[in-house]
């Protein structure tokens, strides 16, 4: 972003009363603004102009702006990439202000799972490879990434695909919801719900609508405020008509026969303390980030509101058919501490401005690349009208591609700010039993 755009952003936020307070000096102000609006050195490179296509024929010209697993997939003719226009993604004003108000206050404790004095916003700014704690700080930033406090995914479609044969094997439809109990920004009460006896940070709920053989299968995950606390997850199995607690080992099993583990949800759905985190630095890479309303979705079937899901293309229809743009990114690596874990490591490419994990390389126990995860996110201001107040990124789709088995699971999501306040009692095991009747 050039200096004039940076000045405009600063002035706009100042008018909202979010930055220019007498308690923040100019250097700190610049640092916070730069976190959410980083300058791109290669923004004006003609190779990166909107409309350019990256294929196996010219991918070497773009290799320095692409993750290595993406380069290999393009080179192998699995898919190609179309570049879109430059776009600044928003940050919710409350999240920005919380980052500013608590700048430098959050601290890592003696153990990686200990975090002290965190209130809200981005816990850590100014990541540096020279800082031995940079990896764990990046992990906490990813955990406390901005997202609305009460969201629903009203239409959530999972498709299992044979990439080698180009065959759609199975389609699941679900409903999903996420409720944040603490460190809230978008919904009152802020910063926390008044009632939280289990001391939770967040809860996630999924319910299968179809096919009939697994209809009403449900998943509930409680993420504790204290990372050192044991993880809690339950499933309601419609075939058994009972709630079953999910053991730690089951969180790395294939979820409902897909290519996705429960541990994969939201980039990483596990305890931070269970991984060794290494920050590998920042650079500029192309990522699937775009304005949903500017995509060519004419071939997609509209729903009753006129909304169209993104499409998937390439080999086996396993890759999101969206535009990519240049972004500043952070690279982060996570190595399981448990020697029996089925993975040897996870490698994340995280968008620096939003701290959304956009690309994930997953390596098997032998150290070989196993899966490639790709998230596709839209600017909330170019999405469905009901999300005008979202003020952040909205995940439209996810691909989890098993490169070894040549199989994939693709997800399309129509998410929204919850139509009515989400109630904590809807995130309990009693609710699972009630909905399973």
Mean pLDDT by 10 residues, the chain (437 residues): 42 36 47 91 97 98 98 98 96 96 92 87 96 96 97 96 97 98 96 95 97 95 94 89 86 93 94 96 98 96 94 98 98 96 97 98 98 98 92 97 98 95 96 90
Residues 181 and 32 in one domain: no
CA–CA distance from 436 to each of 177, 219, 308 (Å)? 16, 11, 30
Spatial distance between the Cα atoms of 65 and 326, rounded to a whole number of angstroms: 8
Residue 402 counted as domain residue:
yes
Residues 215 and 359 in one domain: yes
What DSSP designation does 365 have? T
Query: What is the total count of domains within the chain?
Result: 2
Q: At what angle do helices 26-36 and 3-15 cross, to 10 degrees?
A: 100
Residue 72 counted as domain residue:
no
Spatial distance between the Cα atoms of 70 and 79, rounded to a whole number of angstroms: 9
Per-residue pLDDT, 323: 98
CA–CA distance from 259 to each of 175, 312, 347, 401, 405 (Å)? 19, 16, 17, 7, 10
Residue 301 counted as domain residue:
yes
Strands 393-402 and 369-379, by their bridges, are antiparallel
Residue 318 counted as domain residue:
yes
Residue 138 counted as domain residue:
no
Query: What's the chain's Rg over C-alpha atoms?
Result: 21
Residues 154 and 23 in one domain: no
Q: Can you read off the two tokens belonging to residue 114?
A: 């200990």
Residue 119 counted as domain residue:
no
CA–CA distance from 103 to each of 53, 125, 399 (Å)? 41, 8, 35
Q: Which helix (H) or strand (E) holds 65?
A: none
What DSSP designation does 270 have? S
Structural contact between residues 54 and 83, judged by C-beta atoms closer than 8 angstroms: yes
What DSSP designation does 254 have? B
Residue 97 counted as domain residue:
no
**Domain of 200, in residue numbers:** 150-436
Residue 48 counted as domain residue:
no
Per-residue pLDDT, 1: 42
CATH of the domain at 310: 2.50.20.10
Per-residue pLDDT, 27: 52
Residues 277 and 420 in one domain: yes
Of 422, 425, 399, nearest to 410 by C-alpha is 399
Residues 194 and 330 in one domain: yes
């Amino acid at each position: 972003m050039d200096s004039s755009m940076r000045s405009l952003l600063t002035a706009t936020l100042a008018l909202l009363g979010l930055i220019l307070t007498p308690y923040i000096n100019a250097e700190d102000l610049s640092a916070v603004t730069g976190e959410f609006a980083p300058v791109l050195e290669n923004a004006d490179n003609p190779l990166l102009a909107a409309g350019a296509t990256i294929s196996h024929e010219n991918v070497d010209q773009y290799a320095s702006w692409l993750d290595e697993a993406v380069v290999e997939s393009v080179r192998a003719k699995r898919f190609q990439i179309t570049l879109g226009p430059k776009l600044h993604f928003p940050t919710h004003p409350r999240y920005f202000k919380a980052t500013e108000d608590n700048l430098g206050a959050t601290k890592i404790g003696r153990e990686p799972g200990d975090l002290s004095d965190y209130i809200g916003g981005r816990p850590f700014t100014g990541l540096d490879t020279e800082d031995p704690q940079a990896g764990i700080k990046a992990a906490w930033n990813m955990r406390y990434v901005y997202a609305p406090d009460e969201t629903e995914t009203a239409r959530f479609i999972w498709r299992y695909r044979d990439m080698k044969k180009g065959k759609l094997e199975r389609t699941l439809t679900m409903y999903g919801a996420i409720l944040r109990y603490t460190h809230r920004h978008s919904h009152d009460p802020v910063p926390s719900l008044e009632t939280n006896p289990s001391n939770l940070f967040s809860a996630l709920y999924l319910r299968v609508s179809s096919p009939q053989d697994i209809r009403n299968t449900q998943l509930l995950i409680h993420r504790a405020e204290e990372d050192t606390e044991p993880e809690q997850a339950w499933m309601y199995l419609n075939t058994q008509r009972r709630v079953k607690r999910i053991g730690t080992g089951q969180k790395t099993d294939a979820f409902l026969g897909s290519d996705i583990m429960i541990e994969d949800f939201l980039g990483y759905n596990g305890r931070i303390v269970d991984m060794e985190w290494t920050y590998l630095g920042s650079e500029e890479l192309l990522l699937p980030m775009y304005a949903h309303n500017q995509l060519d979705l004419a071939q997609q079937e509209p729903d009753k509101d006129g909304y169209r899901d993104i499409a998937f293309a390439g080999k086996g229809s396993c890759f999101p058919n969206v535009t990519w743009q240049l972004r500043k990114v952070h690279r982060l690596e996570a190595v399981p501490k448990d020697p029996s874990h089925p993975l040897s490591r996870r490698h994340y490419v995280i968008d620096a401005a939003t701290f959304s994990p956009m690309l994930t390389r997953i390596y098997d126990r032998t150290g070989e690349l196993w899966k490639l995860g790709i998230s596709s996110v839209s600017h909330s201001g170019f999405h469905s009208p009901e999300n005008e107040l979202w003020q952040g990124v909205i995940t439209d789709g996810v691909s989890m591609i098993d490169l070894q088995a040549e199989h994939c699971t693709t997800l399309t999501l129509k998410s929204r700010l919850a139509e009515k306040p989400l109630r904590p009692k809807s995130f309990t095991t009693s609710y699972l039993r009630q909905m399973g009747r």
